[in-house]
Structure 1
Amino acid sequence: MSTYLVAFVISDFRSVTATTSSGVQWFGNLVTMAWWNDIWLNEGFARYMEYISVEATYPDLTVEEYLLHTCFVAVGLDSLNSSRPISSDAENPTQIKEMFDTVSYDKVCFQTHVFSDGHAQKRTLSQENTVTAAARTPKMHFLWHIPLTYKTDASSTIHRHLMTTHTDSIPIEEEVNWVKVNTDMTGYYVVHYEDGGWDEMTTLLRENHTALSYKDRTHLIHNAFQLVTSGHLAINKALELIDYLRLETHTVPLLQGLGYLEAYYRMIEKRNELELTHNLGMYILQFFRAVIDQQTWSDSGSVSERRLRLLELGLEGKVIRSQDLSGLILMVARNPLGHHLAWNFVKKNWDTLVKKLQLGSFCMRHIITGTTGQFSSSEELTDVQSFFESIKEQASQLRATQVALDNVQKNVRWSQRNLEPLRIWLNEQKK
């Protein structure tokens, strides 16, 4: 029997909603893991069956678009030092709860998709872990076997090559103008086009973006901004790449580009960078005015007091259900005037939240990472570190606290590295 915590299920999509639970039951009976460290056998395959079932049942939903997002979410988590192997230690209830995370669901889902895909010039390739956290740890020196795919402007053929060394060269017999690696994003890796390669991709998108599929265009945008975050690519290169979006008609690459710009905007506006926030907002509106929801909440009285009252109602669990509390906290945290309010609320009511929601639960993990996710100053980093130190015994049981710290450290470094170049670039666009 499948049960649901959600308030309602839309009748037309009931079979879609049931897919995950049915998949878990099927895989759990077929291949039952010996212990919770291998829960990915259930959850990852079940998540993949969501896409397979929906694609077969509702082809008009173009579920493959959501599969791209699944990969991007997994890559984002995997780029942090606090990421973990698919099969990890799970020795106590808190660690077991934390196994139900992005790695078990999204990473395994997309890697299952990868496995189901099957397999005169010279291009030199090298592999490196694009870690975005503060320092590389010894675990980052693994060698992966990477199933490369690529296509060129010379033909529609998808070429395949298994990369088994740190560096490799692939001979390309015909004369070509460009090479796009990881065709339709069928592999779980990020591609860096060095030695002018990003300029070639930018020119291609500006002159003939439909030469690439929407998946490849989305993949290029994701990879560019991922490399900006890790410090491998200058931010102006990524911004120049998405300049072609004025010509884009497909929603997936449009929303991918908007997503990164919005994340930057949300982080910068919380730093009280008024001029930079304004200039970035105007730049965004040039491309996305027609698709941005510009509704805002206005009300009389103190908005902060009203937000705080909402949080308190969620904590009580009477008017607002406990299962909705984490979502409410994160909604408040997204607002530039509410993010510190939400974080201070979490610190003040930590013991009550743990008692109500349980330490290693989805809700607590989302609260920890969500309320700190857009902190980007050294002072905010120190505050987060101090609080986690004050709950050291509990924090030591949670991977989410390290994920949160990694994210804040990543944001601090991004701000130090990119705020001034972004300011200069935006000013140049106004001329």
Structure 2
Amino acid sequence: MHVRHLSVVDFRSYTSAELPLEPGVTTLVGLNGQGKTNLVEALGYLASLSSHRVATDAPLVRFGASQAVIRGAVVRDGRESMIELEINPGRANRARLNRSPLTRPRDVLGTLRTVLFAPEDLALVKGDPGERRRFLDDLLVARQPRWAGVRSDYDKILRQRGALLKSAAPVLRRGGRRGARTASDLGSEAAAQRDSALHTLDVWDSQLAGAGSHLLYARLRLLRDLGPFLAAAYDEVSAGPANATLTYKSSLRAATAERIAAGEVPEVDELESEILATLAEVRAQEIERGVCLVGPQRDDVILGLGELPAKGYASHGESWSFALGLKLAAYQLLRTDIGDDPVLVLDDVFAELDTGRRERLAAMVADCEQVIITAAVPADVPTDLVGRTFSVTLGSVSERA
């Protein structure tokens, strides 16, 4: 798999830009702030429908424009597909595949797969649990695009249940509402309101457990498959055995959480029952706090080096190696599963690595079908990875002779 051509209109700093690409290594060279990362961000958006830099779409549209357009020609097994995405902040985005409109933008997922490593990925090691959950879920979707729908459904259920916990909190905590006319009316109204709220909460509990159990099961299987690739990638990047590990920290009851942390993957039905049981145990706390305390959105992945967690104990160099190892492990997992190489993007990475790590990384990616690198100066890129080179200056892209 490789991208033959990328074009953008009103995306970030670009009024328009065209970037011809080919298999092998392509390097985008330019000083910081000139627009290199904007191009690889557009490429990643074609693959994932999200940005690795911002959580919403509005910053992706050039100031003063109403929409941005990204187009990419993707070649796989000798056949070319054209992806076109319209980004419309405040309105529904639109997508076309081979010039045909799609009902949902997420139907393009799987046409292009990329693995991007950028300085922001250091947050996988040093950041909050949300960074690691997002990494897992994005990899799930890259591996099997249908998980985008499962994740979307779960997020909707979670929002609805959270809204109920907040809106019904006075009823559930105090047993009634103000303004009833008599003491007897107050008692009957309070009971009716409380019963209604509890019944609705039961319904949302069931839906949360149903969707959440499938998402949790998929995460656990993914983590089990990813672990060996991570251990190998970290050792290769760092030039030494370090026993890099991944451990899933679940919000379920202690006995089940301990089994999961030990690497066990319970079946979906058991996970659904455990989510319901844990929700029942913490219901009083959820009502008091007005937030959902159980489910995949409360979980974490503990990154370990030997006997210690990487967060808080790993050095800066070890943290970089771990983050890079995670992305290279994701690449190898997708390559193994799909049978095609994803497009590998290394955004301003080599400047952050010492000489040894640069050389080892260059050797590791030498056999990838397509690698796109950004760098402030050509000297940042190992000579073994010098390929087709483009200069990027204030939103202008031109090929170097």
Which one has a bigger Cα radius of gyration?
Answer: 2
**TM-score interval (norm. to shorter):** under 0.3
- What's the TM-score, normalizing by structure 2? 0.27
Structure with the bigger RCO (C-alpha within 8 Å, sep 6+) is 2
Higher strand share: 2
TM-score, reference length from structure 1: 0.25
